[in-house]
Amino acid sequence: METPFARFVFEALVDIAPAVVQGETASGVRRFIPITGGRLEGPELSGEVLPGGADWQTLRPDGCTEIEAIYAIRADDGAVVAVRNRGLVAPVEGGTPYVRTVAQFEAPKGPHDWLNRAIFVGTLSVANAERTVVRVRIFQLD
């Protein structure tokens, strides 16, 4: 059996606004965090995070948070790529929370359409003390 290898694609520093709480739902407490911009750099893709997206979150009764960020990036060559990044934040007793995502891209035909034909995983972390920037690191599974 072949073991997948994760190849670094890019790191994004994503600017966010304060959370907007929807409230209690059948699945848990729902909120969303507006995405207001940002920048991504990497060996495989560089560009800007476009404003207008959001990270929808469900705070489950078991203490875990399901996340689903939907936004767009504009590559340095001008191509616009849609991003849907789903994940899980799970508390770890006495440690840093477990945070992993699976990103799906929808790129136009051309130099970035390789993004449509691969599986990508990622990590998330807070990038500054004010909690207004999130660091997203994306890896392609080979």
Q: State pLDDT tens for residues 5-39.
A: 999 999 999 999 999 999 999 989 999 999 999 99
CA distance 33 to 105: 20
Global pTM value:
0.94
Q: Which two tokens stand for residue 26?
A: 């059948």
Q: Is 114 helix (H, G, I), strand (E, B) or coil?
A: helix
Determine the pLDDT at residue 59: 96
Q: Which two tokens stand for residue 73?
A: 């990036």
Determine the pLDDT at residue 129: 83
Q: Which two tokens stand for residue 20?
A: 């907007």
Find, among 101, 30, 83, the residue nearest to 61 by Cα: 30
Residues 6+ apart with CB under 8 A from 131: none
**What percent of the chain lies above the pLDDT cut of 70?**
100
CA atoms within 13 A on the CB side of 138: 26
Q: Angle CA(134)–CA(136)–CA(139) in degrees, nearest 5?
A: 175
